Amino acid sequence: MPELPEVETTRLKIEPYLLGQRLLRLEHDAPHRYQNTHLASGRTVTRLTRRGKYLLLHLQDPGEDDLELIVHLGMTGGFRFAATPHTRVTLHLESGEPLYFQDARRFGRVAVVQPGVYPGMPTLSGMGPEPLSGGFSERAFVEAVAGGGKMIKPWLLSQVPVAGVGNIYADESLWAARIHPAQTRLKPAEVRRLYTAIRATMQAAVEAGGSTLSDGSYQQPDGVDGGFQTRHNVYDRAGQPCTRCGTEVVKMVLAQRGTHFCPKCQTLKDRL
C-alpha cells in the first residue's frame, strides 16, 4: 500500500502537470466510490498538498466556494500520464492532456468535499502531525508514546501519533531504533530514538522515490520504479541476514499485519 513517501513522490510528479489547470470533467464508472466528482468540473487546481497518505487538490472557481479533491491511493492506486487497463478515473484537463488514476484492486477513493470537512474519512480527520514537518515535535511525540500500554507498531499504523507511517516504514523505523514491533511501555530514550528514525527513514524514502515491491503495484506516475526497496533492512526480507548483526530476519503477524524484525537487534522487553 502506498505510504507517505510514495504519495509524496506522486504529488511532486503530478504537481507540474496539474497546477493552474482547469478540470473540464472527471470521467469514471463508480459513483459510489468516487463521490461528488461532478463538483470539480470547471474548477482550477490552485495547490496540491498531502496529508499522511492522502492527496489534496485544492480547487477554485471565481464566485464559488473553494473545494478539495481528495484522493486516497488505497492498496494499488496511482496516477499515470497514459491510460492503462486498470484506469478508473480520468481527469480531463484544459491542456488537452488527461491524467489517469489507475487502481487494479479498486480500494482507492476519490471525493470532492468542502475544505477540511472529512466526515467519511475518520483517519484523515484524526491524523497526527506530519513526520517531516516542524509540527512533529520530539517532546510531544515522547509525551504521546512513552509509557503507553499499546504495542508500538499498531499504534504507529493508527496514524494518531504521526501521519503517513504504514507497514513498510513502521518496520524500517523500528529496526533503526532497535525497538521490537510489539513492545509496550517504551522508555523516553527509546521514543526519542524512534522519533529520529521515523524522520530519517521517511526523508530517505522520499528522496529515493518510495518503494516498489515485488508485486510492482506502486510506480511513479511516469512508470519509473521507486528506489528505496534496495535499502530495506528488514521489510520483505524474512530469512535473510539482518544488515546490522547478521541474524536471520523474522516475519510474524502482528495486529493482522505482516511484520518484519531482527530478533537480536529488537528484543521484546518485559515491562509490567
Angle at 115 between CA 131 and CA 164, to 5 degrees: 20
Does the annotation count 153 as an active-site position? no
Selected residue with higher pLDDT from 100 and 217:
100
| Catalytic annotation, pick one of 11, 53, 88, 193 | 53
Give the model's pLDDT for residue 91. 98
State what percent of residues in the chain have pLDDT above 70.
Answer: 100
pLDDT at residue 122, as a whole number: 86
Task: Give the contacts of 102 (CB within 8 A, at least 6 positions apart).
Answer: 77, 78, 79, 80, 84, 86, 87, 88
Please give the pLDDT value at position 193.
Answer: 98
pLDDT value, residue 29: 87
| Residue 120: band (very low, low, confident or very high) from pLDDT cuts 50, 70, 90 | confident
Query: Does the pLDDT value for residue 32 go beyond 90?
Result: no
Would you state the pLDDT for residue 24? 97
Q: Which three cell numbers stand for residue 28?
A: 469514471
Average pLDDT over residues 238-266: 98
| pLDDT tier, 121 (very low <50, low <70, confident <90, very high otherwise) | confident
257 is annotated as an active-site residue: yes
Average pLDDT (7-24) is 97
**pLDDT tier for residue 31 given thresholds of 50, 70 and 90:** confident
pLDDT tens figures, 76-92: 999 999 999 999 999 99
Amino acid identity, position 200: A
- In one letter, which amino acid is 80? R
pLDDT of residue 251: 98
C-alpha span between 19 and 48 (Å, rounded): 7
Tell whether the torsion through CA atoms of 34, 62, 8 and 120 is positive or negative.
negative
Residue 258: per-residue pLDDT: 97
d(CA 89, CA 83): 10
What sign has the CA pseudo-torsion 85, 86, 92, 95? negative
Other residues' Cβ atoms within 10 Å of the Cβ of residue 97: 12
Q: Is the pLDDT of residue 172 over 80?
A: yes
State the DSSP string of 34-78. EETGGGGTT-EEEEEEEETTEEEEEEE-TTS--EEEEEE-TTTEE
Q: What's the whole-model pTM score? A: 0.96
Task: Please tell me which residue in 2, 5, 181, 221 is annotated as part of the active site.
Answer: 2
CATH 1.10.8.50, the chain: domain bounds? 138-261
- Cα–Cα distance measured from residue 250 to residue 63, given in angstroms and rounded to the nearest whole number: 58
Q: Which ranges in the chain are annotated with CATH 3.20.190.10?
A: 4-125
Q: Which of the 8 DSSP states describes residue 271?
A: -
Count how many residues are written for the chain. Answer: 272
Q: Is the model's pLDDT at 177 over the cut of 80? A: yes
Question: What pLDDT does 33 receive?
Answer: 86
Which CATH number fits the domain 4-125, given the four candidates 3.20.190.10, 3.60.40.10, 3.30.1360.200, 3.30.70.3400?
Answer: 3.20.190.10
Q: Judge whether residue 119 has pLDDT over 90.
A: no
Q: Is the pLDDT of residue 36 over 90?
A: yes
Q: Which of 33, 178, 257, 264 is catalytic?
A: 257
Can you list the pairs that 96-104 forms with residues at least 24 positions away whose Cβ atoms lie under 8 Å? Answer: 97/17, 99/14, 99/17, 99/18, 101/71, 101/77, 102/77, 102/78, 103/73, 103/74, 103/76, 103/77, 103/78, 104/76, 104/217
Q: Which CATH number fits domain 138-261: 1.10.8.50, 3.40.50.2300, 3.30.360.10, 3.40.50.300?
A: 1.10.8.50
The mean pLDDT value of the chain amounts to 96
In the chain, pLDDT over 90 holds for what percent of residues? 92
Instruction: Tell me how far apart the alpha carbons of residues 111 and 119 are, in angstroms, rounded to a whole number.
Output: 11
Q: Would residue 2 show up in a list of annotated catalytic residues for this protein?
A: yes
